[in-house]
Copies of this chain bind each other. A is one copy, B any other.
Amino acid sequence: MTGPAAPTPSALAALRPLPLTAVRLHPDGLLGGWQARNAAATLPHCVDQLAAYGNLDNLRRVTGDADAPYAGMWFADTDVYKTLEAAAWELGRSGGSAEFLTDVAALLEKAQDPDGYLNSYYQVDHRDRQWTDLGFSHEMYAAGHLIQAAVAAARAAPQVLASQQVVAVARRFADLLVRRFGPEGTEAVDGHPEVETALVELYRLTGHRPYLDQARRLVDLRGYGRLGPGRFGPRYWQDDTPIRDQTEVTGHAVRQQYLLAGAVDVAVETGDNDLLAAVERLWRSALTTRTYLTGGQGSRHKDEGFGDAYELPPDRAYAETCAAIGSFHTAWRLLLATGKAHYADELERVLYNGIAASTAVDGRAFFYTNPLQLRTGHDGSHEDTPSQRLSWYSCACCPPNLARLMASLHAYAATGDAGGLQLHLYAAGRIAGHGRVVEVRTDYPWNERIAIVLTEAADGPWTLALRVPGWCRDARVTLNGWPVRVAAEEGYLRLSRTWQAGDQVELVLAMPPRMVAAHPRVDAVRGSVALARGPVVYCVEHADLPAALAGALFEDLELDATEPLRLVTSDGLAPVTIGVPLRARAAPPDGLYSSCHQPGQGRPGAQPARPGSTPTATVAAIPYFLWANRAAEPMRIWIPLATPAG
């Protein structure tokens, strides 16, 4: 899924993406810094890992240029495609070398079968099994990532000859899909959605209607059990109920999000209001019953899946990085389709928390799962439950997915059309479009002030729309120093006037530290609170315990809610920390369970503070996305509330 540029106009699109080059983020801002780190570290790291882990050699086996055994997962080609997509976005963003794009394009062209088929796992050892196991083969899924890489190359790096080469390869595969699985072919879907959104993007790029029709066909054919039960039942791959009838998100979280993203694309391009409404309903189901405070989704390790409603364990949160990226992509599409600010709110939440936490500060190590708690003595010896980020995974879907998102991140900051500009993500940078140029100056999210300076205003009146995040209770705006009394409408402050170059808008989004409580049906965090400031969720990490608490077991800490929270700026890992009043419970008895014979004889679980508790001390909570960048140590987002003594 891509930062779209110039989609086909549709009756169902409330907002329009800006041209891909319209937004530039400054590397000294947080988001621009992430982009710079991605370019300098993550993307080269991915390229290196593809060579080290044999992904490129897998393709060279097809061309006869390598003879090592096939390496990695059967869908390892997709790591190549996602890295290729990232490289293409990065070429468009910052220029630089086109070597990887050029090399891989040539390799793909050479490896592709004459009929358009391309999949290194099935082209050498398993030719007889092509298209025989659509549930798990990931063949269309892989085609989708190839197509998305091609679309990115065409949009972001049209000047590179290899871009057209990749588009040609992708089109040949897409044409094969249409022949084989289109109206003249088999009724079938892939176990892992992804090609749906890719085909719509390819249609947007080429205008070739059969691609859109095929995407729609795949959305409509899903939900009738064609994939069979598989290992986890048909809900795992969203094949038990057609999406239009589905009432809750279900199954594998990444599959569900990718399907939703594709369905929005189909709905928008075909003017299908019912389909769009179905996605909005499912989105709401996800957000109100199955989403972590970080925006992460997926509560179960067993099937990487959504669990039941309100099943949101912080310790065993799966919250796969790819699911967070999928949620980001779906949120973006719903924002464009509807213009509703709450989709942008989610874009922001999942970006600063669920997505950002997955990458180490050095850009070269990653979480696949993103738990909200790590206990003392956690067994992090397996890659399913690591205590720290790893440089790569046996299933390495997440790192290159991060690379492609970060390389295109600027494309999600704003939208615009003849009527004005809409700012959704605040970051230091420059936005140009439709004859207007604005500079955004801010240290957001560390600082609550966002200055917007018009450097080119264009003629005539237009509207500057500024999103007021859902977490913000006090948004104020000034124009050239004068307060502007305007209320947010549906999540946006809209300033309409004939702008002049030099006009300055300042938006202040008050960001006191806050405590957050979960819905009482979320059993797993009952009696606990989380800490947040602005869009950023905070956590307490063992490394930050002061001497007064260092001797306590991390799991015995509780929050003294009689003391205030305090903001502290820092030169350390986190620019802004929240000072949290914590104390350690008195050492409790060894046994796991204790009895009292009647309610009147004492209320277990709600005792007054025991005499042995430590005095309250202030602990610097850090942004969750920065956790696990020091030694592997316990961490938690949800902190048990102490019951006041007496």
Q: Which A residues have a C-beta under 8 Å from some C-beta of B? A: 232-233, 235, 240, 248, 250, 287-289, 291, 293, 300-302, 307-316, 373, 375-379, 381-382, 384, 471, 473, 512-530, 532, 553, 555-556, 559, 561-565, 581, 585, 588-600, 603-606, 638, 640-641, 643
Contact = CB atoms under 8 A, between A and B. Distances in A.
Give how many copies assemble into the complex: 2
What is the interface of chain A mostly: helix, strand, loop, or mixed? Answer: loop
Contacts of A529: 604-605
A605 B528 CA distance: 7
The 10 tightest CB contacts between A and B, nearest first, are A517-B604, A527-B527, A233-B382, A301-B302, A561-B599, A526-B527, A521-B555, A514-B595, A308-B375, A514-B597
B605 A519 contact: no
B522 A373 contact: no
Contacts of A233: 381-382
B605 A232 contact: no
Given A563-B599, A593-B516, A641-B606, A311 B316 contact: yes
A603 B641 contact: yes
Contacts of A561: 599, 603
Contact of A595 (B375, B515, B553): B515
B597 A522 contact: no
A556 B588 CA distance: 30
Given A235-B381, A311-B315, A528-B605, A520 B556 contact: yes
A174 B516 CA distance: 61
B590 A288 contact: yes
A602 B287 CA distance: 25
Contacts of A590: 288
A591 B519 contact: yes
A516 B595 contact: yes
14 contacts: A233-B381, A288-B591, A309-B375, A313-B313, A313-B316, A514-B595, A516-B604, A519-B594, A521-B556, A523-B640, A524-B524, A527-B605, A529-B605, A564-B598
Contacts of A287: 592
A517 B597 contact: no
A240 to B, nearest CB: 8
Nearest to A309: B377
Contacts of A377: 248, 308-309
Contact of A599 (B314, B562, B598, B603): B562
A101 B312 CA distance: 49
Nearest to A529: B604
A285 to B, nearest CB: 11
A390 B207 CA distance: 53
B232 A516 contact: no
A316 B303 CA distance: 13
Which of A373, A384, A589, A593 gathers most chain B CB within 10 Å?
A: A593
B316 A517 contact: no
B300 A555 contact: no
Contacts of A589: 519
A641 B605 contact: yes
B595 A471 contact: yes
A598 B641 contact: no
Contacts of A516: 593-595, 604
Contacts of A640: 520, 523, 526
Contacts of A312: 592
A384 B300 CA distance: 12
A327 B619 CA distance: 41
Contacts of A310: 375, 555
A588 B520 contact: yes
A615 to B, nearest CB: 17
A519 B592 contact: yes
Contacts of A289: 592
Contacts of A473: 597
Contact of A592 (B288, B588, B600): B288
B379 A598 contact: no
Which of A235, A293, A532, A596 gathers most chain B CB within 10 Å?
A: A596
A382 B641 CA distance: 37
Given A316-B316, A520-B585, A526-B528, A384 B594 contact: no
Contacts of A248: 377
A375 to B, nearest CB: 5
A315 B312 CA distance: 10
A422 to B, nearest CB: 24
A12 B611 CA distance: 43
Given A514-B595, A514-B598, 10 more contacts: A250-B379, A300-B301, A302-B384, A308-B375, A473-B597, A513-B597, A515-B595, A561-B603, A603-B641, A606-B641
Contacts of A585: 520
A289 B512 CA distance: 38
Contacts of A513: 597-598
Contacts of A564: 598-600
A596 B517 contact: yes
Nearest to A555: B521
A381 B515 CA distance: 38
A381 to B, nearest CB: 5
Contacts of A315: 307-308, 311, 523
Given A375-B309, A375-B310, A528-B605, A518 B592 contact: yes
Contacts of A307: 315-316
A56 to B, nearest CB: 26
A394 to B, nearest CB: 10
A604 B524 contact: no
